[in-house]
Structure 1
Amino acid sequence: DFTTPLELVRSSSLYTVHTPVPAGHDYFDEGLAHKYLNEFPGRLGITWQDLMNMGRENPDSQDRFSMSVFALNTCQEANGVSWLHGEVSKKMFAGVWKGYSWEESHVGYVTNGVHMPTWAASEWKSFYAEKLGDQVFSHQSDPKAWEGIFKVKDEEIWNMRTTMKNKFINFVKRDFKAKWLANQGDPSAVIKILERINPNALIIGFARRFATYKRAHLLFTDLDRLARIVNNEQFPVQFIFSGKAHPADGAGQGLIKRITEISRMPQFQGKIIFLEDYNMIVAKRLVTGVDIWLNTPTRPLEASGTSGEKAEMNGVLNFSVLDGWWYEGYRLDEKAGWALTDKRTFTDQSQQDKLDAATIYSMLENEIIPLYFAKNSKGYSPEWIQYIKRSIGHIAPQYTMQRMIEDYIERFYEPEAKRFDKISADSFKLAKEIAAWKEKVAAAWDGVKVLEVSTDRDLSQHTNSGEAFTTTIKIDANGLADDLALELVIDKVHDNQESRVGSVPFKVVSKDGNIVTFQLADKLRDPGVFRYSYRLYPSNPELPHRQDFAFVRWI
């Protein structure tokens, strides 16, 4: 049959969602789906409507078929790719499990990491092997393996950064001269750009897909102020941009065009540089060669981001919106990089963009640039080196591929593998039992009736903590007397917004055939305004979580 294999597939499947951006989730019209999938229901032993409902947030509706909903319905577990993205995903998918609030969702997270041996420059890998020992490669996710960075002399860190910066500048001069000559057509302008690339400047890199939510335009909100920053001869600053837009993303292509136009203005020539033909080689040179990695997405649309993690492995400091991985990374050590606040001031995005841009300018002018140029007699800023050491020692270990894989194994792979082994044993005995139980409950569910609700206090009228109450609810279980559970659900009301506080289970105090009596004797715990409700649901200890079979009856 179809339902038993579905239990097996679900128990061994994980859906990792990679973006909160709607365009990243595929939806298909039913007619198009039918053109390609019409033969499958017959082969599976289900109806066409059954198949379509597996991909609809609202079954038996005219919703388009969603691949994400289909994945959620055919995978036991789901996860976002950072803690914040996990929380966003809970909200985004809350409609799939309508009886449960987003706060109760089983959707978890594993923050992305990067493969350190690939993205750390060969010079840094040799440096780590010499200074920290080869154990840093076999124990990348262990912070203790990186502690040796704090014993390295400041001059050696600075010399490494200088070496990588010069390597990057030579790469730009060598690989982009011919492209610029071909595209710009003015040899004198190209030579002027090349001559102005300054190894003594603070070089800030920005490179990624030019999707509009990544806000590549943010730095150009106030060109006069930006011009003052990049043309300060005492404290030279240069910005390097690179990236590509999707062929169908006209807005993203427009951003690239605008940045290129600005880079050719006299006041920005050689100070703002756009590297064309973005690819993995250009990306690696950038994340190893610049001083700061800038990231300015519209929060919370950056699911994780990994370019800043790659920069981390190479002694490059992050300056980013508190979104994706940096929401967690910055909290590990706030003296290892810089962040724009995660608090939103304006609902109007254009106003928020202006504020964020002004904050970037201010932090550059008052914090970052002065810190970089607070150089001693040896030609480097000791405080800047401390930021680099803390970035490598405290943050880098947490964003390696090794740590990511360990998290997936611990949180998802091993638990699912154990459950799959359990329900598939003895010729799928338990899988068959679970499937049969779900069919039994589904068939009887509409016949379950609430016979009586009695309570000695109207909870909605009492807001004082410590008050005791007893509630008794009598149910006609319609054949499900051993399969039901009941709970008091508590939502706190604040500023006309409700948030789920938790739930308290009822006890079964009597069973008389199909008549089940539940009772809860408890007391109000917290002061404030709350909304109370009763939730009846099917209960089976073999389910992995409540959303696995999200039937709910509100009382």
Structure 2
Amino acid sequence: MNNEAKIAYFSMEIGLSNDIPTYSGGLGVLAGDTIKSSADLKIPLIAVTLISKKGYFRQDIDSDGRQVEYPVVWDPSKFMVRLSRKVKVQIEERNVYIQAWRYKVQSITGGEVDVLYLDTDVEENTKEDREITAFLYGGDVHYRLKQEIVLGIGGVRMLHALGFHIKKYHMNEGHASLLVLELLLMHKKDVESVWDERWIWDTDTVKDLCVFTTHTPIEAGHDRFSYDLVNKILGAVVPLELLKRLGGEHYLNMTLLALNLSKYINGVAKKHGEVSKTLFPGYEINAITNGVHSFTWTCESFKQLYDKYIPGWANEPELLVRAENIPDEELWAAHLHAKNDLVHFVRNIAGIELNPDVLTVGFARRFASYKRADLVFSNLERLLKVGEKGRFQIVYAGKAHPKDIPGKDIIKKIIEFTKTIDNKIKVIFLKDYNMEKALKLVSGVDVWLNTPLRPREASGTSGMKAAHNGVINFSILDGWWIEGHIEGITGWSIGPKPLESSLVNVNDMTDAEDLYNKLENIIIPMYYKDKSHWIKVMKNSIGKIAYYFNTHRMMRRYVTEAYIR
């Protein structure tokens, strides 16, 4: 198909647009932004993912405030081309056939990146096997392992069947780690020409081909499968002794498998790199801090503003360092435009009236319990007292994984608060969070709130999107914010300095009290009484955060540090 050497970028989920619902949250949207920047910068990259024909899920909220999940109905043929080539993998000792859909990401710079969406919904397969690529992160551990066989092993086979010459295989998280087994088979040496049987499996060659990015600092976040399950579903692709040496003695740890067969390994923020070294001692783990695709995550009014005062910003986001050149009144007018857009959007989809004159706080992300979406409600009496100092409203959005009961409970709790304190502080929850809603929120609120348990946030990217729109971050010092934060200059911290490099017990009330104090004594007074100072911090968000925390800078580092080594 193409003789140029490519970087093969494997990700279980990719978020490119609202219309292609093959993402669940930050990991997928980061992958989409990575691909867009690669197209802009003309990096020879090809991406591989799963089609997820029934999406992650469509979220509804029932009358009790509980999240309810429904399949997403979408038609890949409207957006991409089905390729004629098929490959097969062995699952439970039977052939499972895989087809691919090709989607082209094209940049105005002339660059383009193909994305291959793998699909087992083909007539040669059993009904059960046709469903393997139906739901993103759906089903049980058996379903997940089948998906990872299709992604890793099937993905490598599809690339080779289509004639691609691959220079590096980049695993975005451990879901694609089984690709190393396929590479071991491809580079297995001729037994007759090898005196020492240890060298039959050419791990060094495979290692040279692989790059691994880990995204979670939590042990439970790494996929693990029992060897009984691996034997039943995958079979003996390589000898069990070798697999245990590479992937763990007691169970197959997908992260360990990738760590042992990748020449370049990185975490996604400086702090995350440190935490990962503690979690996986003995491995050289680098850090390349995440970014966002600047053009995608800048709202229309700010695009026009940047075009006027910082021409060329979209493909050279580092130029945003010149944000100081934007007149205060024009910056504020662009922000009010975005805020009114959010007000109209909320009215249209939820029938709720937000007040554009009131300080608006946004919180939107996956509702995993460690993200503590409900921290602001820790002391309701104290929160209401803050509300007496100056009015503010909070807009929430986000999905909990269908099996994450604690996450669902937090959504229910917040929806209950929307009813109990509505006459004093307006709190709203927008259901079915997606990329369109995300852009409305990160550009239309005044303050972006983030309250994870430290140091569980590997990076986070929503605050970077907010900064691209002059929205100010108010966050726990974790992930990327440790690097982006200058107190009172680029935004505000919540809680103590991030000194730990492993998981510790954090006092929720200490963090909550700091949140209340800064909201009451710094943020609210500045917003209502010192607009020029507020606008100064908005400019710093753009000029000191957005200029750096973007995927153009990130991808240049991957090229120089990981891809051309």
TM-score, shorter chain, exceeding 0.5: yes
Task: Name the residue aligned to 1:219.
Answer: 376
Most deviating of 404-413 and 336-345: 336-345
Structure 1 residue runs of 4+, over 4 Å off?
266-270, 344-351
- Counterpart check, 1:340 vs 2:532: no
Q: Would the alpha carbon gap of residues 146 and 267 (structure 1) be closer, same or farther in structure 2, given more than 3 Å must change?
A: closer
- 2:211 maps to 1:14: yes
The partner residue of 2:475 within 304, 308, 320 is 320
**Residue in 1 aligned with 2:253?**
66
Is 1:207 the counterpart of 2:404? The answer is no
- In 2, the alpha carbon distance for the partners of 1:15 and 1:374 equals 48
Partners of 1:399 and 1:326 lie apart in 2 by 10
| Residue 82 (structure 1) shift | 0.4
Q: Where does residue 554 of structure 2 map in the other structure?
A: 404
> How does the TM-score come out when normalised to structure 2?
0.62
Residue in structure 2 matched with residue 127 of structure 1 by the alignment: 305
SS in 2 for 1:398: coil
1:3-152 counterparts in 2 under 5 A? 3=200, 5-41=202-238, 47-56=239-248, 61=249, 63-94=250-281, 97=282, 105-133=283-311, 135-140=312-317, 142=318, 145-152=319-326
Deviation at 1:278, TM superposition (A): 1.3
- The 2-side partners of 1:146 and 1:266 are apart by 40
Question: Is the Cα–Cα contact under 8 Å of residues 268 and 289 in structure 2 kept in the other structure?
Answer: yes
Question: Which letter does structure 1 place at the counterpart of 2:211?
Answer: L
Q: Distance in 2 between matches of 1:306 and 1:30?
A: 35
1:498-545 CA-partner distances (Å, limit 9, x unpaired): xxxxxxxxxxxxxxxxxxxxxxxxxxxxxxxxxxxxxxxxxxxxxxxx
Q: Deviations over 1:259-278 (max 9, x none)?
A: 00011014556611111121
Residues 173 and 349 of structure 1, relative CA distance in 2, 3 Å threshold: farther
Equivalent in the alignment of 1:545: none
| Change over 3 Å in CA distance of 1:268–1:223 after alignment to 2 | farther
The structure with the largest helix share of the pair is: 1
2:392–2:426 contact (8 Å) kept in structure 1: yes
Q: 2:542 aligns with which of 392, 395, 420?
A: 392
Letter aligned with residue 75 of structure 1: S
After TM superposition, the structure 1 = structure 2 runs for residues 421-460 of structure 1, keeping only pairs within 5 Å, are none
Post-superposition Cα deviations, 1:469-509, rounded to whole Å, max 9, x if no partner, equal: xxxxxxxxxxxxxxxxxxxxxxxxxxxxxxxxxxxxxxxxx
1:128 aligned partner, one-letter code: Y
Q: 1:147/1:309 Cα in 2 relative to 1: closer, same or farther (>3 Å)?
A: closer
Q: 1:52 offset after TM fit, Å?
A: 2.2
How many angstroms does 1:39 deviate by? 3.4
Shift of 1:411: 1.6
Q: 1:322 to 1:344 in 2, by over 3 A?
A: closer
Q: CA separation in 2, counterparts of 1:354 and 1:73?
A: 41
Deviation at 1:343, TM superposition (A): 3.4
The alpha-carbon deviation at position 38 of structure 1 amounts to 2.8
Q: Is the 8 A contact 2:453 2:506 kept in 1?
A: no
After superposition, residues 246-265 of structure 1 pair within 5 angstroms as 246-265=401-420
User: Which residue in the other structure is 2:337 paired with?
Assistant: 163
- SS where residue 480 of structure 2 aligns? helix
One-letter amino acid of the structure 2 residue matched with residue 228 of structure 1: K
Give the Cα separation in 2 of the matches to 1:268 and 1:110.
45
After TM superposition, give the deviation of residue 3 of structure 1 in Å. Answer: 4.8
**Based on CA coordinates, which of the two structures has the bigger radius of gyration?**
1
Give the unaligned 5+ runs of structure 1: 42-46, 98-104, 178-192, 376-380, 416-555
Letter in 2 for 1:276: K
Partner of 1:354: 509
Secondary structure of the equivalent of 2:543?
helix
Residues 203 and 237 in structure 1, CA contact (< 8 A), matched pair in contact too: yes
SS at match of 1:138: coil
Distance 1:257 1:269 in 2: 20
Q: Equivalents in 2 of 1:219, 1:345: separation in Å?
A: 23
CA deviation profile, 1:248-292 (whole Å, cap 9, x unmatched): 000000000000001101455661111112111111110010000
Are the equivalent residues in 2 in contact too, given 1:344–1:352 (CA < 8 A)? Answer: no
Question: In the alignment, residue 106 of structure 1 is paired with which amino acid?
Answer: E
* Residues 399/348 of structure 1: CA separation in 2 closer, same or farther (3 Å cut): closer
**Separation in 1, partners of 2:234, 2:201:** 21
Partner of 2:397: 242
CA distance in 2: counterparts of 1:168 and 1:286, whole angstroms: 7
Residue pair 1:25, 1:68 contacting (<8 A) in 2 also? yes
Residues 384 and 425, structure 2, Cα contact 8 Å, conserved in 1: no
Give 1:66's aligned amino acid. N
Map of 1:280 onto structure 2 = 435
Residue 543 of structure 2 aligns with an amino acid whose one-letter code is G
How many angstroms does 1:340 deviate by?
2.1
Structure 1 position 36, deviation (Å) = 2.6
Alpha-carbon distance in structure 1 between the residues aligned to 2:335 and 2:376 = 25
Paired residues of 2:292 and 2:464 also in contact (CA < 8 A): yes
Distance 1:349 1:411, change over 3 A: closer
1:382 aligns with 2:522: no
1:231 Cα shift?
Answer: 4.5
Mapped to 1, the partners of 2:496 and 2:423 lie a distance apart of 30
How many percent identity over aligned positions? 40
Alignment RMSD (CA, Å)? 2.1
How many Å separate the matches in 1 of 2:496 and 2:235? 47
Work out the CA distance in 2 between the residues paired with 1:152 and 1:384.
14
Describe the shift of the 1:266–1:216 C-alpha distance in structure 2 as closer, same or farther (beyond 3 A). Answer: closer
Q: Secondary structure at the match of 2:212?
A: strand
Partners of 1:230 and 1:268 within 8 A in 2:
no
- CA distance in 1 between counterparts of 2:348 and 2:560 reads 46
Shift of 1:23: 2.8
For residues 387 and 114 of structure 1, the distance between their equivalents in structure 2, rounded to whole angstroms, comes to 20
- Give the TM-score, by structure 1 length: 0.63
Alignment of structure 1 residues 269-308 onto 2, 5 Å: 271-308=426-463
Distance change in 2, residues 1:337/1:357 (3 Å): same
SS of residue in 2 equivalent to 1:324: coil
Q: How far is the alpha carbon of 1:353 from its aligned partner? A: 0.3
Q: Equivalent residue of 1:373, what SS?
A: helix
Contact 2:495-2:510 at 8 Å conserved across structures = no
Provide, for residues 178-205 of structure 1, a one-character-per-residue CA deviation record: whole Å limited to 9, x for no partner.
Answer: xxxxxxxxxxxxxxx52xx211111000
Letter in 2 for 1:223: L
How many angstroms apart in 2 are the aligned matches of 1:108 and 1:266? 46
